[in-house]
Amino acid sequence: MALGDDALVLSHRLGEWAGHAPVLEEEVALANIALDLLGQARVLLSMAGDEDELAYLREERAFRNLQLVEQPNGDFAHTIARQLFFSTYQHLLYAGLASGDGPFAPLAGKAVKETAYHRDHAEQWTLRLGDGTEESHDRMQRAVDALWRYTGEMFRPLEGLGTDPAGLEPAWLEQIGRTLEQATLTVPATPRTGAWTAGAGRQGLHTEPFGRMLAEMQHLHRSHPGATW
Amino acid sequence: MATAAARDTARGPVDDALDGATDTTEFERAFDAAVAADERIEPRDWMPDAYRATLVRQIAQHAHSEIIGMQPEANWITRAPSLRRKAILMAKVQDEAGHGLYLYSAAETLGTGRDELLDKLHSGRQKYSSIFNYPTLTWADVGAIGWLVDGAAITNQVPLCRCSYGPYARAMVRICKEESFHQRQGYELLLALSNGTPEQHAMAQDAVDRWWWPSLMMFGPPDDESQHSAQSMAWKIKRHSNDELRQRFVDICVPQAESLGLTLPDPDLRWNEARGHYDFGAIDWSEFWDVLKGNGPCNEQRLSQRRRAHEEGAWVRDAAAAYAAKHTRRTPAAAGTTVETGTYSETGAARA
């Protein structure tokens, strides 16, 4: 369910970009990624119960997504930094799950191809923004710095997964470090976890923007109890 | 393909210009013959300036409509009431961006650029379909847009698949396939609402009531007030008049509304046995012209959002250009590995 929530919430955030992207190609790309994630979310939530009930009728404290994915879009650099951190993690995670024989293996086998594309997209943009103009470099660095504190949570143990995400951390750090360096960006020296972000999202403790996001997402569904759409 | 004669003549003007005279009579004759024979005019063929200008105007406005048309629907992505509907809506809005891309490419074959066209959209010198100046006030509007607006677009666009200009006709073949898919989804959305709770049914009826007349206006002014029609039909850019297509659309919609269990907001709508068509009430053309002039409910909002997205994205486009320039300079030997040296487009469009 935690993985389903990650995909659901990030998909929603990317959906907010529709009609606002900097170039038409990015309208297509961001919607494409959002759709992939929504597809993953539907499979994962259906494994845990009824997808719509889980998406629309749970309150904030019952969601298990990472705090990283609920962060507001900010500017394009912010969105790209969030994508870079998450898609790199997700790709490592699904590659591992796909090679095993656990309940997530069939989904992971398909999703790993999607996440490879998502990661590539984020890396390409990290390079362009980091090594583009002075302004884009500064914006990208600010985005990396701002979201860094949410990245430790990804490697906290996850119940029912059958594997410990902590094992992914060295590879994640190595890949992110290499991409940031190539993009002429600095890896932040600040901590990647704190009292509040250390596994907090996984325990249903979220950041303030999340409640607002859910209010918008769930409003119509909740206004018509029992209706089918 | 245009005639060999037309293609040959395309090389002609340069030689003639050397003589100081540009006699286009022969090219015109070849062009007219190609159009008369239902052959396709291709980008390198000679064509009358006015034909080129008309196509640029029409294709650009069509592209702009796809781009602006994303807004009223994207308005509901974050509020879609089920995950299945959310996925369908996201895919649709993504398709529209893709259609915009095809159409800008088609327009570019006529010697204009996407940046130039976007600039004309942003400055109000080129229009987009007036239908997108109406607001999406409820979820049912998403269905009404799919059923009626996409339905009207398809009725308009299917004949364009046979348009005399090849690149436009080919773009329309791809676009029409996806549009008819969207239209079916919109119909199905309304059907679910119509068969749902009384509140859902009322929501569907209200949306159809608001979108019906604006959809009929999508076919453009009546034939006797349509300034471009006659010439466009002679050039086989257009195949049917505005009023013909509008009638066809009404004839298709009436039985569909019945099977939806919804009514159309027109007391004069009835079957005319003698004509073999549905008669329908008078369209409020003053509203049409008013919206076209910029005074519709959302004109200001739609254009502002588009401009804002463009302006706020400027630093991103600058970064991509600067990176491409730097990267090309740094690795002159990378001719064989051009993956990273191209424009930003390949990261996204590749999988579109």
**Rounded to the nearest 5°, which phi and psi values hold at B252?**
-75, -40
Q: What is the pLDDT of residue A198?
A: 67
Higher-scoring residue by pLDDT: B329, A25: A25
A121's enclosing H/E stretch is: helix A105-130
On the question of pLDDT at B296 being above 80, the answer is: yes
Which candidate, B137, B132, B130, B146, places its Cα nearest to that of B206? Answer: B137
Q: How far is CA B25 from the centre of its chain?
A: 33
State the CB neighbour count (10 A cutoff) for residue A188.
16
Q: Do B94 and A127 touch (CB under 8 A)?
A: no
> How far A150 CA lies from chain B's nearest CA (Å)?
24
Our CA angle for A174, A150, A100, nearest 5°, is 55
Give tens-digit pLDDT for B182-194: 999 999 999 999 9
Which candidate, B297, B257, B296, places its Cα nearest to that of B278? Answer: B257
- The counts of H helices and E strands in chain A are 9, 0
Q: What is the pLDDT of residue B141?
A: 98
Judged by average pLDDT, the poorest of A52-66, B2-16, B53-67 is B2-16
Rounded to a whole number, what is the distance in angstroms from the first to the last CA of chain B? 28
Q: A136 in contact with B at a CB cutoff of 8 Å?
A: yes
Q: What is the pLDDT of residue B330?
A: 61
B215 contacts B146 by C-beta, under 8 angstroms: no
On the question of pLDDT at B351 being above 50, the answer is: no
d(CA B289, CA A221): 38
Mean pLDDT of B237-263: 97
On the question of pLDDT at B5 being above 50, the answer is: no
Q: For residue B137, list its beta bridge partners.
A: none
Judged by average pLDDT, the poorest of A208-217, B18-27, B330-339 is B330-339
Higher-scoring residue by pLDDT: B85, A160: B85
Selected residues 73-92 of chain A with any CB under 8 Å from a CB in chain B: 75-76
Q: Do A41 and B318 touch (CB under 8 A)?
A: no
What contacts A106, CB < 8 A, 6 or more positions away? Answer: none
Closest-CA residue of A relative to B203 is A224
Instruction: Map residue A209 onto helix, strand or coil.
Output: helix
Q: A212 in contact with B at a CB cutoff of 8 Å?
A: no
Q: For residue B270, list its beta bridge partners.
A: B279
Q: A224 in contact with B at a CB cutoff of 8 Å?
A: yes
- Residue owning tokens 């796909």: A98
Q: What is the pLDDT of residue B226?
A: 83
Q: What is the pTM of this model?
A: 0.91
Proportion of chain B above pLDDT 70, given as a percent: 87
B345 interaction partners in chain A (CB closer than 8 Å): 23, 25
Q: What is the pLDDT of residue B332?
A: 52
B278's enclosing H/E stretch is: strand B277-279
Q: For residue B271, list its beta bridge partners.
A: B278
Tokens representing B211 are: 């979108």
Per-position pLDDT tens, chain A of length 229: 899 999 999 999 999 999 999 999 999 999 999 999 999 999 999 999 999 999 999 999 999 999 999 999 999 999 999 999 999 999 999 999 999 888 899 999 999 999 999 999 999 999 999 999 999 999 999 999 999 999 999 999 888 888 889 999 999 999 999 999 999 999 999 988 876 676 799 999 999 999 999 999 999 999 999 999 9
Task: Provide the sign of the torsion angle of the four alpha carbons B212, B216, B217, B218, taken in this order.
Answer: positive
On the question of pLDDT at B283 being above 50, the answer is: yes
AA letter at B48: P
Q: Across chain B, what does the average pLDDT equal?
A: 89
Our CA angle for A54, A58, A63, nearest 5°, is 85
Closest-CA residue of B relative to A121 is B347
In angstroms, the Cα distances linking A118 to A28, A121, B20, B161, B220 are 13, 5, 58, 35, 42
Give tens-digit pLDDT for B117-172: 999 999 999 999 999 999 999 999 999 999 999 999 999 999 999 999 999 999 99
Neighbouring C-alpha atoms within 13 Å toward the C-beta of A144: 27
Q: Looking at residue A20, what DSSP letter applies?
A: T
> How far A194 CA lies from chain B's nearest CA (Å)?
31
On the question of pLDDT at B342 being above 70, the answer is: no
On the question of pLDDT at B329 being above 90, the answer is: no
